[in-house]
Chains A and B, each alone.
Chain A
Amino acid sequence: MGACKEDTLDRYPTDASVIESYYKTPNDATMAVNAAYNMLLRDDWWSLYIYSEILSDNCAGGAGSGDGGGFQRLDRLLQWPEADAFQIHWRTYYGAIYRTNIYLESEGLINWTGKESLRNQYKAEIRFLRAYYHFYLARMFGNIPALDHSLLPGEIPSRSTPEALYGLIIDDLKYCIENGLSTPYSQMTEANWGRATKWAAEAMLARVFLYYTGYYNKTEINGINNNVVQTYLDDVIANSGHGLVDHYASLWRVPTYSELKSIDLYAGEKNKEVVWSIRYNITGAGGNLYGASWWQRMIGPRNTNVDPYGNGWGAAPVLPTTWNMYENGDTRKTATILSWADEGLTYDFTGAQQAQYTGYNLKKYDIASIEKRPEDVVMGGTDWQTEAFEDYIVIRYSDVLLMAAELHLLNGDAATALNYVNQVRTRAFGNTEHNLSSITLDAIYNERRLEFVGEGIRYYDILRYCKGDFSKLVNYLTYVDQNDGGDFSKSIDTESLDVDGNSFAEKKGLFQIPQAEINLMKGKIQQNEGYN
Chain B
Amino acid sequence: MKKLLALFATSMLMCVTALSQERTVTGTVKDASGTGLPGVNVIVKGSSNGVITDLDGKFSIKVPGDNAVLQVSFIGYKTEEVSVGQQNSFAVTLNEDVKQMDEVVVVGYGVQKKKLVTGATVQVKSEDLTKNNVTRIESALQGLTPGMSIVKQSGQPGSNYNITIRGLGSVNGSEPLVLIDGVPGSMSSVNPSDIETVDVLKDAASAAIYGSRAGNGVILITTKKGKTGKMQISYDGYYGISNPWKKVDVLNASQYMGIMNEQQRNDGRTPYFSAEDSISNSVNTDWQDVVTNKNAPQQSHYLAITGGNEYSTFSISLSQNKEEGIFDFEGKSKFERLGFRINSDHKVKSYLQIGENLTYTHRDSRALGTGNQYNNFMRQVLSASPLIKPYDETVYDGFGRSKNNKVKGLGVPYDGQINPIADMHYNYNGHTKNDDIVGNIYAELEPVKGLKLRSDFGGTLTYSYYSEFNDTFHLTPYTYNTLQNVKQNVYRNFGYNFDNTATYTKDIGNHNFLVMIGMNNQDNWFFNIIGERKGYLTSSAPILNNVSSNLKLDTANGNFGKGDARISYFGRIAYNYNEMILFSASLRRDASSRFGANNRVGYFRAFSGGFVLTKLDMFSTLEWLNFLKIRASWGENGVEPNRPYMFLATVNAANKTYAFGSGISPNIVPNPALRWEASQQLDIGFESRFLNCLSFSFDYYVKTSKDWIIPVTVPGISGIAGINERVNPYKNAGKVTNTGVEFDVTYAKNFGDFALELKGNLSYNENKVNEVPDSIIHGSSSVLYNGSEEFCRVQEGMPMGFFWGYKTDGILQSKQEADEYNSKLKRQQAVPGDVRFVDTNGDGILDQKDKVMIGDPHPDIIFGFGATASYKAWDFSMNISGQLGNQIVQCYRMQETAYGNYTTEILDRWRWTDANANGIVDAGESNNSSRPRVTNGKETNKNWRNISDLYVYDGDFLRVKSINLGHDLKKSLLKNIPVGQLRLYVSATNILTITKYNGIDPEVGYGSYYDNAGNLTDAFASGIDMGFYPSAITYLVGVNVKF
Contact = CB atoms under 8 A, between A and B. Distances in A.
Contacts of B661: 30-31, 34
Given A14-B559, A66-B937, A287-B1012, A517 B660 contact: no
Interface stretch (A87-95, A228-236, A392-400): A87-95
Given A4-B521, A31-B662, A66-B937, A16 B650 contact: yes
B405 to A, nearest CB: 10
Nearest to A145: B717
B481 interface: yes
Given A18-B650, A377-B483, A6 B591 contact: yes
Given A31-B663, A353-B898, A38 B655 contact: yes
Nearest to A90: B716
Interface centre among B553, B652, B723 (most CB of A within 10 A): B723
Contacts of A40: 658
Contacts, number: 262
Given A11-B593, A13-B648, A90-B716, A37 B723 contact: no
A377 B482 contact: yes
Which of B406, B409, B482, B563 has the most chain A CB atoms closer than 10 A to its own CB?
Answer: B482
Contact of B663 (A37, A191, A311): A37
Contacts of B645: 11-13, 16
A28 B667 CA distance: 15
A12 B409 contact: no
Contacts of A92: 722-724
Given A11-B593, A16-B650, A288-B724, A102 B665 contact: yes
B717 A35 contact: no
B482 A381 contact: yes
Contact of B652 (A16, A37, A369): A16
B940 A490 contact: yes
Contact of A17 (B659, B664, B1012, B1013): B664
Nearest to B517: A1
A401 B793 CA distance: 55
A18 B653 CA distance: 12
A52 interface: no
A514 B721 CA distance: 14
Interface string B950-991: 000000000000000000000000000000000000000000
A326 interface: no
B873 to A, nearest CB: 54
Given A38-B655, A279-B658, A14 B666 contact: no
A486 interface: no
Nearest to B601: A6
Contacts of B254: none
Interface in A288-316: 288-291, 303-307, 311
Nearest to A350: B269
Interface stretch (A149-157, A443-451, A473-481): A149-157
B642 interface: no
B567 A42 contact: no
Nearest to A280: B659
Contact of A151 (B474, B502, B718): B718
A16 B561 CA distance: 12
A505 interface: no
A382 B565 contact: no
A490 B719 contact: no
SS class of chain B's interface: helix, strand, loop or mixed? loop
A16 B651 contact: yes
Interface in A120-165: 145, 147, 150-151, 153, 155-157
B717 A9 contact: no
A9 B593 contact: yes
A330 interface: no
Given A4-B567, A151-B718, A287-B1012, A9 B592 contact: yes
A340 interface: no
B866 to A, nearest CB: 44
Contacts of B651: 16-19, 22
Interface size class of A (residues with CB under 8 A): 35 or more
A102 B666 CA distance: 9
Interface in A341-356: 348, 350-351, 353
A371 B411 CA distance: 11
A87 B716 contact: yes
B650 A19 contact: yes
Contacts of B597: 7, 9-10
A156 B565 contact: no
Interface in B369-412: 406, 408-410, 412
Interface in A333-380: 348, 350-351, 353, 369-371, 373-374, 376-378, 380
B409 A9 contact: no
Contact of A32 (B478, B663, B940): B663
B270 to A, nearest CB: 9
B485 interface: yes
A290 B659 CA distance: 11
B526 to A, nearest CB: 9
Interface in B889-916: 896, 898
A11 B524 CA distance: 11
Nearest to A190: B659
B860 interface: no
Contacts of A311: 477-478
Given A9-B593, A68-B787, A194-B659, A17 B724 contact: no
B76 interface: no
A381 B666 contact: no
A168 B559 CA distance: 42
Interface string A430-464: 00000000000000000000000000000000000
B665 A9 contact: no
B787 A67 contact: yes
Given A31-B664, A32-B665, A66-B945, A380 B719 contact: no
Interface in B88-141: none
Contacts of A95: 716, 719-722, 727
22 contacts: A8-B567, A11-B562, A11-B564, A11-B593, A12-B645, A31-B661, A34-B661, A34-B663, A34-B664, A95-B719, A99-B719, A101-B719, A102-B666, A194-B658, A287-B1012, A288-B1012, A303-B416, A351-B414, A351-B415, A382-B481, A384-B480, A385-B478
Listed from nearest, the 4 A-B pairs whose CB atoms lie closest are A98-B719, A35-B663, A34-B663, A16-B652
Given A17-B650, A66-B896, A384-B478, 12 more contacts: A9-B567, A11-B563, A18-B648, A28-B664, A65-B936, A94-B719, A95-B719, A279-B659, A290-B657, A305-B408, A353-B898, A489-B938
Interface of A: 1-2, 4, 6-20, 22, 28, 30-38, 40-42, 44, 64-68, 87-88, 90-92, 94-99, 101-102, 145, 147, 150-151, 153, 155-157, 191-195, 279, 281, 283, 287-291, 303-307, 311, 348, 350-351, 353, 369-371, 373-374, 376-378, 380-382, 384-385, 489-491, 493, 514, 517, 520-521
